[in-house]
Chain A
Amino acid sequence: MGELFLEARNISKAYEGVQALDNVGLSLGKGSIHCLVGENGSGKSTLIKIIGGVVTSDAGEIVIDGGHFHHLSAIESIREGIQIIYQDLSLFPNLTVAENISLNQMVERRTQVVDWKEIRAIAERALVELGEEIDLNILVEDLSVARKQVVAIGRALTQNAKLIIMDEPTSAITREEVDHLFEVIHRLKAKGIGTLFVSHKLNEVFEIAETVTVLRDGRKVGDYDASDLTNDKLTFLMTGETIEYHPYTVDSQVVSEPPVLEVRNLTRKDEYTDVSFSVRRGEILGITGLIGSGRTEVALSVCGLNQPHSGEILVESEPVTIGSPRKANQLGISYLPEDRLTQGLFQHQSIGDNTVIAILRRLLSKLGLIDWTEKTRVQDHWVNELAIKTPSAEVSASSLSGGNQQRVVLAKWLATEPKVFFLDGPTIGIDIGSKSNIHEIIRELARKGMAIVMISDEIEEVRNNCNRILIMRKGRIAGEIEDPTSVDDAEIFRQISGKNGSEVPRT
């Protein structure tokens, strides 16, 4: 590992009756690339926040470059060269790239007058150091998630970062962008800047990490050299069990039925063109493609959130117009959105309220009032069904770990008992153990007759769970895989990117 930069010793932290961390230690070498893995709620984000000084630990100390801290504050942490990039990236969308990168440093200097030249200079320097090129005058809101990340990393560099911590940086970016991010991480390493990051995608962990620390239920399982681990072994360390996938198949009888949902020549200018597909009861149809390939836009159109310009949608062979999510809901179509934070979850409302918002009609008593006993029953049912880790359904959704929040959103839509269920990134941020759990739930729903459309950029996810896969590229359906068991991930990746050969992800 080389020279030590940071050491967290015997860290413990309890929240709302949950022991988030229990006597956990972590050692990070100078310039090392270190990965933190563990199931949802195992304490990864909490540990990171303690190192960043935004959460105070109940016990333990942090040693940075030989200095001891019992109650590390956020300011001390930054001063010691630690920069955390949270999942929301904490950028100002309405400011330019240059302003975002330079802001912290300008604030620190306490200058009263804005020096625009200096702002540009700082930002330019940071980007050169990163070896990146981004137009400094663009507003951050107009950038892709991956580019925003680069801006956030650039901003970290202006603060003399020695360690950059990223919480699930790869969950919302494409495969190619992940590769790019990893290049950046290697470049940082060459400059002696270490990276600590969290990911639920184990193949990425193997690609980039030198050392892997595994947490389970707030305790440390151990530190491992990435080269000593295999996918199965790591899964076992995290979950205590091995996970096997069997391909999802449907009866030939199902396939002969008329489709529940049929889309014909759907087109929306600048987004997608001439998209046709259909899905039957019991099917799990996968749609994969790069971010920007139009897959989400098509799903939004079918679910009433993005009006198509031409084309037809048929539900149970009846042509329909779907002008709102409400209409979609009435027709039995539900959509689990891509972005949990801004589209899926009411952060500061209770888990229970989040669960029942789309089915209030069903909770009304004869007098037209909400039946609270029934509401409690429904929300408790889903907390149990999806094994949401919480002391009570009455607590705020914001107190849950990321993966458990995703389950709450899933619960909201499952409660509507849709006929057709679009899942856009159903397991983003969900740990490998629960992922197979959720996949099993989805399969069970399909077996019971629901039609499922699963949108994902995780090739493995669609290949393992879908009986049919559509490939989207540049707004068109570029191919269909009738039998996912007959192809490997590399082949699917080739079709997605439209390239031949070479650039194949390791899995």
Chain B
Amino acid sequence: MTQKQANNVTLVIVFLAVTAVMSIFLPDKFLTVINFQSIVSQFPEYGLMALGIMLAMTTGGIDLSLVSITSISGVTAATVLVQYANWGLPPTVVIILAIVAALAVAAACGILNGLLITFANVPAIIATLGTNGLFLGIAIVVTKGSGISGFPEEFLVIGNGRLLGIPVPFLIFIGVAVLVGLLMNRSRLGFEMRMLGASPTVSQFSSVNNRAVLIKTHILTALMAGIASIIIISRVNSMRPGYGSAYLLITVLIVVLGGTDPAGGFSTTLGTVLAIVTLQVLTSGLNILAFTPFFRKFIWGLLLLGVMVIHYYRRRYYEKRVTQAARNAPPTPEGQT
């Protein structure tokens, strides 16, 4: 069992434990199709952001401007969408235009973050703190502070529709998560992101193009926010800049909970997904029990601390496991002439 697998097994156990507790205590409310549908349609928007944060964290950085990127790309999409009546184009074309525009703006934000970090040598945490204000500011100026609403009927399917009973946002999330997993585990870029996170100097010496890798990372991170923004505005059928600002801290927590090393060099997509789902199940259970938001935060904090402790002991256990595995492995030739 690799360290990654051990990490994810811990999270699966925690997830099952949380689900089991909820099911036992709230069989008639928790264990319903409706509740599950609501669970899986609630987390995709911040789940996507968490995946974005994970990408940035793998390289040893972070993106604090993520929520503002959802605002600015959400505003872009909304602006295009409300024009559809004026342009006389078929709704599908307008919707595609809106999505493309939103993702393009998100990518541009990512490029700006990436350039600041690589060429101006600003640490990611500072650079994205700065652009956070910038992006949100632009979104507010464009909308003059008020919301935009009234999208074509067909657009609302993205945030509210179902396919074979499965909410569309969840399907989008699963699709993106699979791609991110593929990126991190099987692609050259993902490999280089991880190595760069482990040591930028060594990766530079190893002929990795650090700048290109970092810029690409921030584009991908921003795209996650872009996709999230489409889901959000479709779900609520309006756009208000600043929506989801509470998501930032949650997403950072999720990523760490999932086992990603904030110092860079180690991340797990599956771990992040498991952490997202666990947190959402917990939240929804607590909602059913009508706990106050404060108490919910308290429980979340408790869960986070608990998983940290488990991570710690698991790492120690893992070290022992490796010892045993190594004993059983065939020896390689001795390192001598």
Chain A interface residues (CB < 8 Å from chain B)? 14-18, 39-41, 217, 239, 241, 243, 305, 324-326, 328-329, 335, 337, 342-349, 353, 357-358, 360-361, 364, 368-370, 372, 383-384, 387-392, 394-395, 403-404, 407, 412, 416, 433-434, 436-437
Q: Considering the chains assembled together, what is the distance between the CA atoms of A353 and B266 in angstroms?
A: 12
Asked if B332 and A326 sit within 8 Å, CB to CB, the answer is no
Q: Considering the chains assembled together, what is the distance between the CA atoms of A387 and B329 in angstroms?
A: 16
Q: Contact check: which of B203, B265, B334 meets A348 at CB < 8 Å?
A: B265
Output the least CB separation between B122 and chain A (Å).
Answer: 20
B195 at interface, CB cutoff 8 A: yes
Asked if A360 and B192 sit within 8 Å, CB to CB, the answer is yes
Asked if B265 and A361 sit within 8 Å, CB to CB, the answer is no
Q: Contact check: which of B191, B201, B325, B331 meets A353 at CB < 8 Å?
A: B191
Asked if A326 and B208 sit within 8 Å, CB to CB, the answer is yes
Asked if B205 and A337 sit within 8 Å, CB to CB, the answer is yes
Q: Considering the chains assembled together, what is the distance between the CA atoms of A353 and B197 in angstroms?
A: 13
B144 at interface, CB cutoff 8 A: no
B86 at interface, CB cutoff 8 A: no
Of all A-B residue pairs in the complex, the 4 with the closest CB atoms, nearest first, are A17-B326, A389-B335, A391-B326, A369-B186
B333 at interface, CB cutoff 8 A: yes
Asked if B195 and A369 sit within 8 Å, CB to CB, the answer is no
- In the bound complex, residues from chain B placing their C-beta under 8 Å from that of A387 are 332-336
Answer whether A326 and B209 are a contact pair too, CB < 8 Å, given A384-B332, A391-B329, A433-B337: yes
What are some 25 contacts across the A-B interface (CB < 8 A)? A14-B323, A15-B323, A17-B327, A41-B335, A305-B204, A325-B204, A329-B207, A337-B205, A342-B202, A343-B202, A344-B205, A348-B266, A349-B194, A349-B265, A357-B192, A357-B203, A360-B192, A361-B188, A364-B188, A369-B187, A387-B332, A387-B333, A389-B332, A407-B335, A416-B207
Output the least CB separation between B164 and chain A (Å).
Answer: 28
Q: Contact check: which of A241, A305, A370, A388 meets B205 at CB < 8 Å?
A: A305
Chain A residue with minimal CB distance to B185? A370
B198 at interface, CB cutoff 8 A: yes
Answer whether A17 and B333 are a contact pair too, CB < 8 Å, given A357-B206, A370-B188: no
Answer whether A389 and B201 are a contact pair too, CB < 8 Å, given A357-B191, A357-B195, A361-B188: no
Output the least CB separation between A464 and chain B (Å).
Answer: 15
- In the bound complex, residues from chain B placing their C-beta under 8 Å from that of A389 are 332, 334-335
Chain B residue with minimal CB distance to A42? B336
For residues 114 through 133 of chain B, which have their beta carbon under 8 Å from a beta carbon of chain A? none
Q: Contact check: which of A14, A18, A360, A395 meets B191 at CB < 8 Å?
A: A360
Asked if B187 and A370 sit within 8 Å, CB to CB, the answer is yes
- In the bound complex, residues from chain B placing their C-beta under 8 Å from that of A41 are 335
Interface centre among A17, A305, A324, A342, by most B CB within 10 Å? A17
> What string of 1s and 0s marks CB contacts (under 8 Å) between B87-115 and chain A?
00000000000000000000000000000
Chain B interface size, under 10 / 10 to 19 / 20 to 34 / 35 or more: 35 or more
- In the bound complex, residues from chain B placing their C-beta under 8 Å from that of A328 are 207
Answer whether A17 and B336 are a contact pair too, CB < 8 Å, given A344-B202, A344-B205: no
Answer whether A16 and B188 are a contact pair too, CB < 8 Å, given A326-B208, A391-B331, A437-B337: no
For residues 166 through 198 of chain B, which have their beta carbon under 8 Å from a beta carbon of chain A? 182, 186-188, 191-192, 194-195, 198
Asked if A16 and B326 sit within 8 Å, CB to CB, the answer is yes
Output the least CB separation between A431 and chain B (Å).
Answer: 8
- In the bound complex, residues from chain B placing their C-beta under 8 Å from that of A412 are 206
Asked if A16 and B205 sit within 8 Å, CB to CB, the answer is no
Output the least CB separation between A271 and chain B (Å).
Answer: 18
Q: Considering the chains assembled together, what is the distance between the CA atoms of A75 and B212 in angstroms?
A: 47
- In the bound complex, residues from chain A placing their C-beta under 8 Å from that of B187 are 368-370
Q: Considering the chains assembled together, what is the distance between the CA atoms of A387 and B195 in angstroms?
A: 24
Q: Considering the chains assembled together, what is the distance between the CA atoms of A27 and B166 in angstroms?
A: 73
Asked if A403 and B335 sit within 8 Å, CB to CB, the answer is yes
- In the bound complex, residues from chain A placing their C-beta under 8 Å from that of B335 are 39-41, 387-389, 403-404, 407, 434
Q: Contact check: which of B203, B205, B208, B336 meets A239 at CB < 8 Å?
A: B336
Output the least CB separation between B190 and chain A (Å).
Answer: 9
Q: Considering the chains assembled together, what is the distance between the CA atoms of A358 and B207 in angstroms?
A: 6
Asked if A241 and B337 sit within 8 Å, CB to CB, the answer is yes
B322 at interface, CB cutoff 8 A: yes
